[in-house]
Chains A and B, each alone.
Chain A
């Protein structure tokens, strides 16, 4: 039976009732990076540890992908392509993460708006599974 699977193991906690993005924190200088990697690009230390990132942040910048990406590497539906939002969300006091946005409306997106983490279907894989990835959505006031 088809099921929901994470787009990549280790990118976020999955399966989980409250999934979180997984980054790395440098134990020497405190820098936070995403996704998990060994080695700190700020201080060049190799002393890093995995860290669950926060789920809220501010939209730092954004665009709208207006044409179907080349496939590969894109795995989404090219024939029925719908534009999608892309941005960097500055997760409070942690790191800016590049992310899909849940909306693609230029009049509804604004730099500085409060955003929250969501999980959305990205595409259906060859086994019929629904592949899940992370995205950010404007916080409903």
Chain B
């Protein structure tokens, strides 16, 4: 593995779900204070920050509550990869030598129901939304519908992914939906976008996550259990990919941005998929987790049917996926979602994940986000 230059030395989270008494920004501030305490530092020690939210305001306004220390604070807005982009930017700021201790933070607070899409800001004509095509849920239904036919994935395997998410979340005090739901209940819930039912989709929600990053060679100043960032990569789509909110697709079929991001991350870390002990993969819906297992290089297309049916992605399985309940059980506050995955992996690598701890001392962990309009972010962490 490549020699890491950057470590995560403090983590903080505000519980996901619905918190009517706190604004999105207040949830972000809550997470930052937790991270500061975790690393044993003061806000005035933090030299720079990258932060973002999609629906809850500019992150740099947090300084009015955290303290007006004059630090460099840059807002990040990159759709579902907002958190991943904040982390990537913080990583590079430390790796470049510009600063030694900084923050990546993301939070959000979305209205109830499916995402309301602003077609113009998405670069689309008004006609697209008016006739009922501006729904992210349609894309996920259409992608997994084709995938199930081409690669023989069953409806029951979709249900197994959702059931695992809610079961894992039962042991995650920061998760939103913590009641186990049976496979039959999942399959029989409302059909929102065929073949995906209500309990196969995550919901937009609320929450905040903050991560403190430091130079790897200084990490032990802050913590006895540093977790190193061996790769942080963000990529956008290329010709031929199949993306959310696309009025048209190229005649030729090509790989999506997840494939490119994953390859680049493994190259950056100097390891391969077989070296990963657990992963948090974008599970906007149950089918996404299945497809992303293959797109990230962890199996061949179609092998997921056997892998999931045999329980290999369970916490005690060969390759645990979405150990904290993923987006399915945590919801998707866009700004915070990618950072939640990293938070969970840090806990797992510290051996501090409690009842949902992956056994046998995991050493290398992987995160992956995907979102509109065809963007992906991957990190690889090790201890």
- CB-based contact B251/A62 at 8 Å: no
- CB-based contact B146/A84 at 8 Å: no
- CB-based contact B132/A69 at 8 Å: yes
Chain A residues within an 8 Å CB radius of B249: 60, 88, 95-96, 98
A94→B113 CA distance, assembly (Å) = 36
Q: In the complex, which residues 91-141 of chain A have their Cβ closer than 8 Å to any Cβ of chain B?
A: 93-98, 100, 106, 111, 122-123, 131, 133
Chain A residues within an 8 Å CB radius of B191: 64, 66
- CB-based contact A31/B250 at 8 Å: yes
- CB-based contact B247/A97 at 8 Å: yes
Measured between C-beta atoms, what is the minimum distance from B141 to chain A in Å? 3
- CB-based contact A61/B127 at 8 Å: no
- CB-based contact B125/A96 at 8 Å: no
A88→B127 CA distance, assembly (Å) = 17
Per-residue interface assignment for chain B, residues 235 to 264, with 1 indicating a CB less than 8 Å from any chain A CB and 0 otherwise: 000010000001111110000000000000
Per-residue interface assignment for chain B, residues 125 to 160, with 1 indicating a CB less than 8 Å from any chain A CB and 0 otherwise: 111111111110010011101100100000000000
- CB-based contact B119/A73 at 8 Å: yes
B352 at the interface (CB under 8 A from A): no
- CB-based contact B127/A62 at 8 Å: no
Closest to B251 in A: A95
Closest to B239 in A: A42
Q: Which of B129, B141, B251 has the most CB of A within 10 A?
A: B251
Chain B residues within an 8 Å CB radius of A61: 142-143, 145-146
B19 at the interface (CB under 8 A from A): no
- CB-based contact B135/A69 at 8 Å: yes
B117 at the interface (CB under 8 A from A): yes
- CB-based contact B132/A76 at 8 Å: yes
A106→B246 CA distance, assembly (Å) = 22
Closest to A9 in B: B127
A90→B193 CA distance, assembly (Å) = 21
Known: A65-B193, A98-B246. A73 touches B129 (CB 8 A): yes
- CB-based contact A8/B250 at 8 Å: no
Q: In the complex, which residues 182-197 of chain B have their Cβ closer than 8 Å to any Cβ of chain A?
A: 190-196
A119→B125 CA distance, assembly (Å) = 18
Per-residue interface assignment for chain A, residues 67 to 87, with 1 indicating a CB less than 8 Å from any chain B CB and 0 otherwise: 101101111100000001011
A94→B250 CA distance, assembly (Å) = 8
Per-residue interface assignment for chain A, residues 26 to 61, with 1 indicating a CB less than 8 Å from any chain B CB and 0 otherwise: 000001111100000110000000000000000011
Please tell me the number of chain B residues within 8 Å of chain A, measured between CB atoms. 38
Known: A35-B247, A63-B141. A11 touches B127 (CB 8 A): yes
B118 at the interface (CB under 8 A from A): yes
B66 at the interface (CB under 8 A from A): no
Instruction: Give the residue of B127, B129, B193, B239 whose beta carbon is less than 8 angstroms from that of A63.
Output: B193
- CB-based contact A67/B192 at 8 Å: yes
A66→B197 CA distance, assembly (Å) = 9
Measured between C-beta atoms, what is the minimum distance from A33 to chain B in Å? 6
B114 at the interface (CB under 8 A from A): yes
Closest to A32 in B: B251
A115→B143 CA distance, assembly (Å) = 19
Measured between C-beta atoms, what is the minimum distance from A51 to chain B in Å? 12
Per-residue interface assignment for chain B, residues 208 to 231, with 1 indicating a CB less than 8 Å from any chain A CB and 0 otherwise: 000000000000000000000000
- CB-based contact B142/A23 at 8 Å: no
- CB-based contact A111/B149 at 8 Å: yes
B116 at the interface (CB under 8 A from A): yes
Per-residue interface assignment for chain B, residues 2 to 18, with 1 indicating a CB less than 8 Å from any chain A CB and 0 otherwise: 00000000000000000
Chain A residues within an 8 Å CB radius of B250: 31, 42, 95-96
Closest to A74 in B: B132
- CB-based contact A66/B118 at 8 Å: no
A61→B193 CA distance, assembly (Å) = 13
Query: 15 A-B Cβ contacts within 8 A?
Result: A42-B250, A61-B146, A63-B141, A66-B191, A66-B192, A72-B129, A73-B116, A73-B119, A73-B129, A74-B134, A86-B133, A87-B142, A88-B142, A95-B251, A122-B130
Taking A63-B138, A73-B134, A97-B247 as known contacts, 16 extra A-B pairs with beta carbons closer than 8 A to each other, sorted by chain A number, are: A7-B127, A7-B130, A11-B127, A23-B248, A32-B251, A34-B247, A63-B196, A69-B134, A69-B135, A86-B133, A96-B248, A96-B249, A98-B133, A111-B145, A122-B131, A122-B132
Residue numbers of A with Cβ under 8 A of B are 7-8, 11, 23, 31-35, 41-42, 60-67, 69-70, 72-76, 84, 86-88, 90, 93-98, 100, 106, 111, 122-123, 131, 133
Nearest 8 CB-CB pairings of A with B: A73-B129, A63-B141, A8-B127, A61-B146, A75-B130, A34-B248, A96-B249, A61-B142
